[in-house]
Amino acid sequence: MIEANGLTKRYGGKVAVDNLSFTVRPGVVTGFLGPNGAGKSTTMRMILGLDAPGAGHATVNGRRYTRHAAPLHEVGALLEARAVHPGRSGYDHLLALAATTGISRRRVDEVIDLAGLGEVAHRRVGGFSLGMGQRLGIASALLGDPATLILDEPVNGLDPEGILWIRTLLKGLAAEGRTVFVSSHLMSEMALTAEQLIIVGRGRLIADVAVANFVRDSSRLTTRVRSPQAEWLRDLLAGPDVTVTGDVTGVLEVRGLDGEAVGRIAARHGVTLYELTPVHVSLEEAFMELTRDAVEYHGVTGRGTASVERSAA
């Protein structure tokens, strides 16, 4: 269980994390999503006591991370940047970390097997491939057999086989009743791995939503309309449950009305249509739209993107 309460972090004048509150529950994989610079890594470093929050605090398993007598047994972490000396072997790296908490050599061997590092464990980390480096990070996260895992972009740089491995591993760990908190930029990846999503943009909470709901609500169709009288049509289509956007001149993306309805309205007013196409919004697009402008989003309601803005109780 991870609880963030009003976490805030500034770097210089820039707010990296802004009054962020959420709860990560055990038993499911929780995805932590947001575009580059949204503040995911910063939030994770604050949870781990590496960065001090400017305001607010976070607890893990009921206590601040730094107050645990044996942190490695509480939380296993994989940080964004590699946190390994390249001149040391993977085995010695794990051994040194394990030693701080009196974790046995046997357990070190165990996590090496678990992460599939067997053959390379005694080689220097500097020569590891990206995937091997990630596996070493996972191995060190699992060292203390922790109840909570915090992983910053674990699939970064992995090949499809590695991604599948991580996905299966995380689901398995969650199924054992652990808390698994994983950051990513990739909505599509999280849709396959996570059950719960915490979405941030510009350091703020945008959504805390079950993946199933997000998928259901964002996979509605939109309708693409091309017309020489697009601006007029835009006004004609306006309605309480209708969103019309259009980045290209003469093209409208209509949500809340299907092609039939748009065609009927156009005919009634004698608007010429060149194109009327149903478009499936991908999860990735839905996510991008949601995070495109975090601040703007706060003011907009009824856009139908799930149970947005449920701050942690």
Binding site residues, ligand ATP, CB under 6 A: 11, 16, 34, 36-42, 80, 185
- Cβ proximity to ligand ATP: between 46 and 233 the closer is 46
- Cβ proximity to ligand ATP: between 12 and 240 the closer is 12
Two structure tokens written together for 147: 């109840």
Cα 40 to Cα 43: distance, rounded to the nearest angstrom? 5
Window contacting other proteins (CB under 8 A); options: 51-59, 213-221, 237-245, 252-260: 51-59
Window contacting other proteins (CB under 8 A); options: 58-66, 187-195, 215-223, 291-299: 58-66
Query: Which residue in 37, 86, 157, 278 binds other proteins (CB under 8 A)?
Result: 86
Residue 62 as a binder of other proteins (CB under 8 A): the answer is yes
Residue 83 as a binder of other proteins (CB under 8 A): the answer is yes
Q: How far is CA 235 from the centre of its chain?
A: 37
The option from other proteins, Mg ion, ligand ATP, none interacting with 77 (CB < 5 to 8 A, set by class) reads: other proteins
Residue 190 as a binder of other proteins (CB under 8 A): the answer is no
Spatial neighbors of 131 by CB under 8 A, at least 6 apart, are: 157, 158, 159, 162
Q: Helix or strand or coil: residue 304?
A: coil
The option from ligand ATP, Mg ion, other proteins, none interacting with 90 (CB < 5 to 8 A, set by class) reads: none
Residue 42 as a binder of Mg ion (CB under 5 A): the answer is no
Residue 169 as a binder of other proteins (CB under 8 A): the answer is no
Question: How crowded is residue 291: how many other Cβ atoms within 10 Å of its Cβ?
Answer: 21
Question: How crowded is residue 52: how many other Cβ atoms within 10 Å of its Cβ?
Answer: 10
The option from ligand ATP, other proteins, Mg ion, none interacting with 104 (CB < 5 to 8 A, set by class) reads: other proteins
Two structure tokens written together for 174: 């969650």
- Cβ proximity to other proteins: between 104 and 282 the closer is 104
Burial of 224 (0-12, 13-18, 19+ CB in 10 A): middle
Asked whether the beta carbons of 234 and 280 are under 8 A apart, the reply is no
CA dihedral 139→142→148→153, nearest 10 degrees, is: 10
The option from ligand ATP, Mg ion, other proteins, none interacting with 284 (CB < 5 to 8 A, set by class) reads: none
Name the residue among 143, 151, 154, 3 with its Cα closest to residue 65. Answer: 3
Query: Which residue in 23, 41, 43, 134 binds Mg ion (CB under 5 A)?
Result: 41
- For 233-252, the three-class secondary structure string (H helix, E strand, C coil) is HHHHHCCCCCEEECCCCCEE
Residue 304 as a binder of other proteins (CB under 8 A): the answer is no
Query: Which residue in 16, 58, 79, 271 binds other proteins (CB under 8 A)?
Result: 79
- Cβ proximity to Mg ion: between 76 and 256 the closer is 76
Burial of 305 (0-12, 13-18, 19+ CB in 10 A): buried
What Cα–Cα distance (Å) separates residue 188 from each residue in 185, 247, 280, 284? Answer: 9, 24, 15, 6
Task: Tell me how far, at minimum, the Cβ of 187 lies from ligand ATP, in Å.
Answer: 13
Residue 228 as a binder of other proteins (CB under 8 A): the answer is no
- Cβ proximity to other proteins: between 21 and 213 the closer is 21
Cα 271 to Cα 50: distance, rounded to the nearest angstrom? 60
Window contacting other proteins (CB under 8 A); options: 64-72, 190-198, 269-277, 303-311: 64-72
Of 60-99, binders to Mg ion (CB under 5 A) are 80
Asked whether the beta carbons of 24 and 198 are under 8 A apart, the reply is yes
Which residues of the chain form contacts with other proteins (CB under 8 A)?
Answer: 1, 26, 45, 48-52, 59, 61-63, 65-66, 68-75, 77, 79, 81-89, 92-93, 95-97, 99-104, 107, 110, 140, 144-145, 147, 172, 175-178
